[in-house]
Chains A and B, each alone.
Chain A
């Protein structure tokens, strides 16, 4: 994957870079999804970050919890009735004790669904090539364009520099 990117020391500069790339993107033949931002920490409160904030993970976790409850219910009801062995004068499937197990399996379902959703929506594990630069880990924010058309390169470089980058690199 070829990419053209620049590193910015503060998020405002990165935001300016992203804004100008989006504005001129159509003219230069660059789609929005080719604009990539990479950072070593989350930047909540900035548009370049928050536009990706929409998520259905809360709903999915709740649905996962319901599935967990159903699975738990299958365990505590049907396994006990398959080979019924009375104990201590209690009913075979008391609601109190079943409730405890259902509670736990609900939470387990919600937790596992959350993690699976995270992995899927974040694209992990990501086996392909990543756009990265060691400077990211020193606090810089990488803003770049993947697979830019050759004709657009000089203009893109200019925009990235205008936003405040010290240097523009290629990957």
Chain B
């Protein structure tokens, strides 16, 4: 497929200036979902949190489900960008920017949800550690503060991780795209020139960011899981939550990424850049994580069942056999039974197959978050505190608005920024003479090492 630099830039800058009616339609749909969410939130602030379906004892339901879900989706970018960069896997090149964009947007949505779910949302800023005349600071022993610091770190890190490689592309867009956009790209490009010194600094910075962002991502979702694990109630007080949530997050993140890539491929006509091989690789990763997810789910439930603790068994039966059984088994079908054959059998691991598997995984992982939260809260220790939960239109609207917000942010982003990192793609197409100077050519016949020119093809 060797595309020239000129072709790459033309193909990837074209969506910035040409817009189809389908785009405006999508923006209208996503925009109205977001507006509905704004209306629902205003309704909630005006009338009180009682407009939600929450009650005693189920004090968290859709709100925290969505929070954990979106933070989970955000792990896509980290895995692809950072880990594959460090492993120097060439196939990551067309995929990094869309993955990083998912991370930043999903994190932003995930960060807004805790503000919206408060009983008194106008006081959310009390979670921010700043000196006040009350002389009181937030409680750093609370997992919610750990959430705040972790999400702040991760959001800063992933925003920068998205923006840094955008600088050279903004430089290209500044010079190649005419009109008002040129000024916008000029701002993002920060006067980027493209000297070797700048390239080296940028690559070193991204190397460090890649190393730093992986442990941050792992810690973020572990800390989110500790919102549950730090309480002594049955079903939540489990040490497996940390790794379980991280695996689930990466799982849902890959699924989200596959879906986003498929949509971009279709609507931005990137068929020659996002090829079936990319979906094949990501599909294999998704398969791995489906198996991992199954393993963790089995381990968690087996431990509860084998231990036979009364309160734990009560929650377990409520989930597997009781009122939540339909949702539980739907989750297993969505997370394993449908994706496994599609992704394991090469004939089915096509772009369409990967998309079907990803869509079911996204649904299944949302259900998984819900099933972690609500059955426990409905079935705590004392039978008199057992209850039931039903969502109201406000919560459903806010959930839908979250998806609408993601779509809207992505649509706007794809119109302003080339969705594939042009310079990285170009660097991958050219044969990089990494071993040019330093290669040692071993001649078995003469059994001596002599310096020579060994050209390595590290494209793809």
- A interface vs B, CB < 8 Å? 36-53, 55, 57-58, 61, 75-76, 79-80, 82-83, 85, 87-88, 90, 94, 97-98, 100-101, 103-105, 107-108, 110-112, 114-115, 117-119, 121-128, 130-132, 134, 136-139
Contact = CB atoms under 8 A, between A and B. Distances in A.
A115 B436 contact: no
Contact of A49 (B156, B172, B191, B196): B196
Interface residues of B, number: 61
Given A105-B149, A137-B172, A122 B140 contact: no
Interface in B3-32: 4-6, 9
A87 to B, nearest CB: 6
B183 to A, nearest CB: 14
A52 B197 contact: yes
Contacts of B437: 45, 47
26 contacts: A39-B194, A40-B5, A41-B168, A41-B423, A43-B196, A45-B432, A49-B199, A52-B196, A52-B200, A58-B208, A75-B129, A75-B140, A83-B137, A97-B140, A107-B212, A108-B156, A112-B156, A114-B205, A118-B164, A118-B204, A118-B205, A124-B192, A126-B193, A128-B191, A136-B175, A139-B6
Given A44-B434, A83-B135, A111 B426 contact: no
Given A83-B135, A83-B136, A124-B190, A44 B153 contact: no
Given A45-B437, A57-B201, A97-B140, A111 B427 contact: no
Contacts of A50: 196, 200
B223 interface: yes
Contact of B5 (A82, A126, A138): A138
B149 A101 contact: yes
Nearest to B167: A124
A110 B208 contact: yes
Contacts of A103: 219
| Max chain A C-beta neighbours (<10 A), residue from B192, B197, B430 | B197
- Closest 6 interchain pairs by CB? A126-B191, A139-B5, A79-B137, A42-B199, A125-B190, A118-B205
